[in-house]
Chain A
Amino acid sequence: MNHRPEQLAPADVFYNEEEAKKYTMNSRMIEIQQEITERALEILAIPKHSPRLLLDIGCGSGISGQVLSEYDHCWVGLDISKAMLNVAADRDVDGDVIHADMGHGFGFRPGTFDGAVSISALQWLCSAEMKCQNPYKRLNKFFSSLYACLIKGARCAFQFYPSSPEQVEMITNSAMKNGFTGGLIVDYPNSQKAKKYYLFLMAGYSEEIMNEARQVIMPRAKTGDTDSEDDSDDDENDSDDDEKVDIKGRQKSKMIKKKEKYGASVKKFNNSNAKSKDKNWIMKKKDRQRKQGKSVCRDSKYSGRKRPMGFN
């Protein structure tokens, strides 16, 4: 099955009434969307208790908007799917929604919005749905009109699902061409599932906004590591050592396999296999999973400890 809706049909066709209803009823979907929106707000780095006027591109049924409202922001959202917007209207979301296509550019008064977010929408711009549509032109139009309607120094956080590295390049190139600065933030890069791409953009430079967001000039990606920075260097060294050991271990087992092939004892091979699940192995696995953003039990003196003989 194809898991990428943008390759199946245009957004206004794909998100019909049924799909819109499904989307808004799915609690897992809502949870993920809310989580992403909160992360996007973190990237925008707006100080507490200072409500702003934000733009939500691809707002859908207003799940992301609800989070913005919780933080007291006023927002205007736009989406191309009428069915999704109707759901938003029925749910009485706090913000205002507009039926529009982001690839056509925005008809907003210049210099109005304090920032923009977009949750899982940008990838739709990369595919042409009609013969007359050119993704490059649409991206250009999108970023140039976005730049115009933002205030100077405004920050944007766009989460999206690129289908290839070329797509990322296509989007970032277009943004840079239209005067934005910023970059790509990849959260949980080690995990297939939790990995999230955020395009972080700044429209020009403003002293005031820079001061507000002092600590997050270029937001750091989340890796799931809870260690402080000082420890990280040591960790790197450790992991390097581990890797070396790993390679040695692999070579060993290869050799053993070879030996086995040529009639060496099978016993030796079994022994090395049993050894592999020792404390070291467990710690390494936990570390790996932590980096993937999974919830992992904390390490204690009991983790990976040998059981008393009776249980073996």
Chain B
Amino acid sequence: MKLITHNILMCNKKGCTTNNFPLKLVATNWKDLDTENAQQYNPALLQRLCEKIEWNALRQTVSTLNWGVNLPEQLSAELVQDEAFLQDLHLLLVKRQIVEGQMVCPNCERVYEIKNGIPNMLLREDEV
């Protein structure tokens, strides 16, 4: 799972409607994809994604992961035009794959496991 997906996911359990974003992410194993395997760097795409990202949630998540990545407090219009910043963001959002770990809903504490890079968001029938 990539961080861009984490930035979109919310807890989907029945009745869990407030304070269900962002899910607390714990990554036990991650890797950076090779350039051939990952989505190619594309400034237009990243600018599009920047419009969609919940910046505070991303900052909060990255700081708990201890990856040594420092993100600016605010996403400004100048930053979005900055080539070096976009390159860093590309690595963080699209290239880095979380292989093993889990996500916990901050509200209902439902645990979603991540295995083989695939988060299991499947709910039991009584949770729908």
Residues on A facing B (Cβ under 8 Å): 49-53, 69, 72-74, 76, 78, 80, 82, 85-86, 89, 92, 94-101, 104-109, 112, 114, 130, 132-133, 141
Bound form: Cα–Cα A279–B24 in Å: 73
Nearest CB of chain B from residue A122's CB, rounded to whole Å: 19
Per the 8 Å Cβ criterion, residues 20-63 of B in contact with A are: 20-21, 33, 37-40, 42, 44-45, 48-49, 52, 54
Among B4, B33, B48, the residue within 8 A (CB) of A51 is B48
Is the pair B122, A80 in contact by a Cβ cutoff of 8 Å?
yes
Q: Report yes or no: B21 in contact with A94, Cβ–Cβ below 8 A.
A: no
B64 interfacial contact with A, CB 8 Å: no
B117 contacts across to A, CB distance below 8 A: 89, 97
Q: Are A98 and B39 in contact (CB under 8 A)?
A: no
Measured in the bound complex, the distance between the Cα atoms of B40 and A94 in whole Å is: 9
A70 to chain B, nearest CB (A): 10
Q: Known contacts A98-B118, A109-B54; decide if A76 and B5 are in contact (CB<8 Å).
A: yes
Q: Is the CB of A101 within 8 A of B123?
A: yes
Contact A104 B12 (CB under 8 A): yes
Min CB distance B104 to A, Å, is 14
A74 touches B44 (CB 8 A): no
Cα A95 to Cα B94 with chains together (Å): 8
Give the interface SS of chain B, mostly helix, strand, loop or mixed.
Answer: loop
Nearest 3 interchain pairs by C-beta:
A107-B12, A51-B45, A92-B37
Chain B: residues with Cβ within 8 Å of the partner, total of 35
- State in angstroms the CA–CA spacing of A85 and B40 once bound together: 22
Interface contact B48-A86, CB-CB below 8 Å: no
Contact call A53/B48, Cβ cutoff below 8 A:
yes
Asked whether, in the complex, the Cβ of A53 is within 8 Å of the Cβ of B49, the reply is yes
* Complex contacts, A85 vs chain B, CB 8 Å: 118
Do residues A72 and B38 form an inter-chain contact, with CB atoms below 8 A? no
What are 29 A-B pairs at a CB distance below 8 A?
A50-B48, A51-B42, A51-B44, A51-B45, A51-B48, A52-B48, A53-B52, A72-B45, A73-B45, A74-B4, A80-B122, A95-B39, A96-B1, A96-B2, A96-B4, A97-B118, A98-B118, A99-B118, A99-B119, A100-B12, A104-B12, A104-B128, A107-B9, A107-B12, A108-B9, A109-B9, A114-B48, A130-B125, A141-B128
> How far apart are B54's CB and chain A's nearest CB, in angstroms?
7
Q: Does B111 contact A (CB under 8 A)?
A: no
Q: Given contacts A74-B94, A99-B119, is CB(A108)–CB(B40) below 8 Å? A: no
- A-side contacts of B86, CB under 8 Å: none
Interchain CB contact (< 8 A) of B12 among A69, A89, A106, A114: A106
**Which residue of chain B lies nearest to A88 when distances are taken between CB atoms in the complex?**
B118
